[in-house]
Amino acid sequence: MVRGSTSLTLSLFFFLLLHWCPTVQAQTNFIAQTNFSSIHLSGNATVIPDVGIRLTDLAEHVKGRAVYSQPLRIKDETFSFSTTFVFCILPPSDISLAGDGLAFIIAPHPSQNTALDGLYLGLFDNFTSMGHSYNHLFAVEFDIVQNDEFNDINSNHVGVDLNSLISQKSQSAGYWIGNQSLGLDLKSGHNIQAWIEYDHVSKELNVTVAPAGSLRPEIPLISMKNLTLSDILEEEMYVGFSAATGLTIEGNYILTWSFSTNGTAPALNTSMLPCLLQSKSKSPKLPLIAGFTTGMVVFLLLAVAVMWFKRKKSRDPVEEWEVEYWPHRFSYRDLATATKGFREEQVIGCGGFGKVYKGVLCSNGLEVAVKCLLRESSEGVKEFIAEISSLGRLQHRNLVQIRGYCRRGKQLFIVYDFMPNGSLEKLMFGNPGGVLRWAQRYRILWDVAAGLLYLHQGWEQRVVHRDIKSSNVLLDSQLRGKLGDFGLARLYRHDDNYLSTCVMGTPGYIAPEVGHRGRATPESDVFSFGVLMLEVACGRRPVTPFPDAPQIGLLDWLRELHTNNKVMDAADPKLNGEYLELEMERMLRLGLLCCNPRPEARPPMRQVVQILEGEASFISLSVEKGKPSSSIQSSYKCSTDTYYFSSLEGR
């Protein structure tokens, strides 16, 4: 009877493990800036060289659609996306004749064969077909006509549509600068940038617009809560744009576009986009004026050419091997301008690698952090840029985005997004004026866990970070955590061995097997993350001696408390007991579990994220006997037990 019960329990455990652990969502990530070969066009849509995609043109009663040629793979309730694009609605000379606008869409079909020409933004065949669940349509409309039948608020609005053109939520087009709201005319003919983001975890949709080239406003124009897109979308969907016009209009244009699922959409370079309104408004000039203008242009071109040749002599040439890696190379002049000549007052961090400067890019006003490094050999430079180019393609909301690099002699510069709230370490230990609240700490650790899960399982290659610590967790303006500093990271195929030639990392965070064998793995990253969790929960550095026990480090001290069933005594006293005991205990026990001396006993990051979300609980299996326990345990002896997870409890 004992053997039969054991077999039944094991069968039940593996059944639950297989059915409760979600599969990894394949990521779709692309940018269409100058090459639109991956975009499928239908109807009136066409590519205009050196401009972008024109959805509709001068003809009346037309429709056009442009979508990414590969369908999105929507899996259960794990679909998130981020997109940004620049569009232009170019009005005719007689502004009163302006036709409809355009819409960003996620639709079940790449083409719009059944949709009516010139009506309904090219999305529906008649009014009665709207509002039905079989449409499986999500759209964000940029509408320049007020239709009473759709309850439009005005003739210049942005709206979120679900299976219908009657918007679930709409706002007059505009944007925020600080606390000031400014209007935005969609049919002005000027370039406008939009950002649309949906997070399946928080079920929140944000839509933001602003003039192209300006900073992205911190406050979105539209924010919707409790939106579950998985209830609307099918398993395969197409993402793109649709437009229709029944009246004369110069055209609806998409000038550049980037998109990402489960990550942040790649940034767009808007500085070189054409201004269609200016080209449209050209008028004939007198021959004398034209001749004078031509002469001035020739003179200026010669002057620019002379300056360019002089500057070229003073800078490093772009070598052939460098071009194949990553085209986004900043000039030294651009970075010097951004950092005010690398002044000392711009320094926001220092380390063994060099200094980090705060800067503002003149091209788009983006705040960045510029890290300066020094490499001795040219081969080292080549390897380094190859690595940075690969890591630059990583796109996730909980990773610090790498924007590009600069090479000048033996100097290397890496350009990151600037994080206004600095590092978690400084906020925890260098902020005498305040204490980071427990809810903020818990959310930051969840953010880091989600970013680390993406590195380990969510990309085409597995990335081992190798230096997870509180100083490498950076905080944005909303105190959301982002994992940064990939200087020690390495890329591997998913079936590779994780061999390293030397021990890399920070004392106190390094897993035992790394110190013994010099072998960095995803499991060693889990160990470092476990130390980080304990550090945040206890408010103590991992290697700083304690006054009451100067010979005991953080991890050994916690294991001793755990053995004596006093693990809750380790909670940070600066919190004054203002925390949820269930979450504190979960954090401490999970941290100890991640710091198990045996790598195979540590949970993978997917289970770590599930436990932090309260979607899984601990089940222990005795290593010595190799038999499962009959119930969920209350004791977690890290030196003798292996832990697995279930969704039976903890919701």
Rounded Cα gap, residues 101 and 349, in angstroms: 47
Ranges of beta strands (E only) in 130-202 are: 138-143, 157-162, 169-172, 174-177, 180-183, 192-199
Q: What are phi and psi of 513, to 5 degrees?
A: -70, -25
DSSP 15-61: HHHHHHSPPPPPP-EEEESS--TTEEEEET-EEETTTEEEEE-SSSS
Of 143, 161, 447, 467, catalytic:
467
Contact 527, 511 (CB under 8 A): yes
Q: Which residues are 641's β-sheet partners?
A: 622
Is 467 among the residues known to form the active site? yes
Rounded Cα gap, residues 402 and 416, in angstroms: 5
Rounded Cα gap, residues 193 and 52, in angstroms: 14
Rounded Cα gap, residues 508 and 554, in angstroms: 9
Rounded Cα gap, residues 162 and 138, in angstroms: 5
Contact 371, 403 (CB under 8 A): no
Contacts of 34 (CB under 8 A, 6+ apart): none
Helix, strand, or coil here: 602?
A: coil
What number of other Cβ atoms are within 10 A of residue 234's Cβ?
A: 14
Ranges of beta strands (E only) in 108-220 are: 138-143, 157-162, 169-172, 174-177, 180-183, 192-199, 204-211
Rounded Cα gap, residues 285 and 100, in angstroms: 33
Rounded Cα gap, residues 304 and 292, in angstroms: 18
Task: Please name the residue that has the structure tokens 């709206």.
Answer: 159
Rounded Cα gap, residues 446 and 439, in angstroms: 11
| Strand-by-strand arrangement of the 402-408 sheet | 347-351, 354-360, 367-374, 411-417, 402-408
> Active-site positions?
467
